A = this chain, B = another copy of it.
């Protein structure tokens, strides 16, 4: 590809932030194996040829089928690891000299060659987006192909540096946002699906609704993560009224509570590079400045793993305390939320069970089993309240027995909660939640 074409392209993309499609004269890049292109890219010395090769390789990859991609990933693992000879020499040199310079040389020699390859791929126009896409593909294949894990570590290491919190920009999402961005909000909402543009509008336009997202300068118009907020009077105990179609908005300045009712990641390829905690905290700051009347910052969150955990402990005969399987069996029915007696019986059983689940059920490495709990407790939030029949949607009933949790972000406690949790695994919880669990025991 001539440098002219390349540079024009560069400009176009930088300016318009659009995707690359069918960039190359057909048949040309096909002639070369992606892995051979990768070698050429690593061997290249000039910036212009680097950019050209990087673009070519990104496009070549995008045109591959899944099998071709897997072959390429394997080649990266097999042939683009560290240079063994150089590494052996560097070890020898370090052991002879023992100084920091030798250690640094050793550090360099031990670096897998594919890290430099990934850095160079990032030089191409649209390179960052292409690499995030490439890792999404890699993650999809990783389950069948655990040998690719090393490559994933390289991606994650570099992405952590590139998506450094200092490079992220928070923007408000509202009805003044461009359609290009809003279309992605609709697509990526992961907690309470957005049905269509009218549903979206109800969530971002009324004066008592807020939505914020992080963006990265190299991913134009691509939200990385977004948080939906409802401004309310008092802490809400159910999601229904928040999402209701017919609803009278309240004046923002009359609200005392900001409820984070949904947080969604948009980029599969950035898994493990965390921004959620930063986003929540920055949103809290923003809201406090705008609306000094707000006193409470809390979530209204699902318990996505409750039902499955319940099934497992039941199956294993490990139901805590004297929970009644006969009552729990009624969860199988579809209409129990409408039967008052059944519902009341279930409530009596499930509230303590849910408290136990959140406080005591752990993953093998000792963390809370519920992923949402893990996230918010890790951020320094407090387990504040359990809400009965708070989410009557099919998914809410199927996964969380209709229960929802409020996690409280109490500004003055966040850091202390976080430290206690990080160091000692201690979960901050309000006394009614603790009582629920204790009473049951």
Residues of A within 8 A of B (CB): 2-4, 7-8, 10-11, 14, 16-19, 21, 45-49, 52, 77, 81-82, 84, 87, 91, 94-95, 100-101, 103-104, 106-107, 110-112, 119, 122-125, 127-128, 150, 153, 158, 161-162, 164-167, 169-170, 175-180, 182-183, 196-197, 200-201, 207, 217-218, 221, 248-249, 277-278, 281-282, 284-286, 288-289, 379-380, 411-412, 414-415, 418-419, 422-423
Contact = CB atoms under 8 A, between A and B. Distances in A.
B170 A17 contact: yes
A150 B104 contact: yes
The 5 closest A-B pairs by CB, nearest first: A107-B110, A217-B217, A46-B418, A45-B422, A7-B285
Nearest to A411: B4
Nearest to A418: B46
A150 B107 CA distance: 12
A91 B82 contact: no
Nearest to A101: B150
A52 B47 CA distance: 39
A170 B218 contact: no
Q: Could you say which of A18, A158, A179, A379 has the most chain B C-beta atoms within 10 Å of its C-beta?
A: A179
Contacts of A164: 119, 122-123, 162
18 contacts: A3-B411, A11-B282, A18-B286, A19-B288, A21-B411, A45-B419, A49-B419, A82-B100, A103-B110, A107-B110, A127-B166, A161-B162, A162-B164, A167-B167, A176-B178, A176-B221, A177-B179, A179-B179
A50 to B, nearest CB: 9
Contact of A218 (B46, B81, B166, B277): B166
Contacts of A196: 197
Contacts of A47: 277-278, 281, 379, 418
B285 A49 contact: no
Q: Could you say which of A16, A52, A107, A284 has the most chain B C-beta atoms within 10 Å of its C-beta?
A: A107
A81 B110 contact: no
A91 B284 CA distance: 46
Contacts of A285: 7-8, 10-11, 18-19, 21
Nearest to A121: B166
Contacts of A415: 2-3, 46, 48-49, 52
Contacts of A178: 175-179
B8 A218 contact: no
Contacts of A379: 47
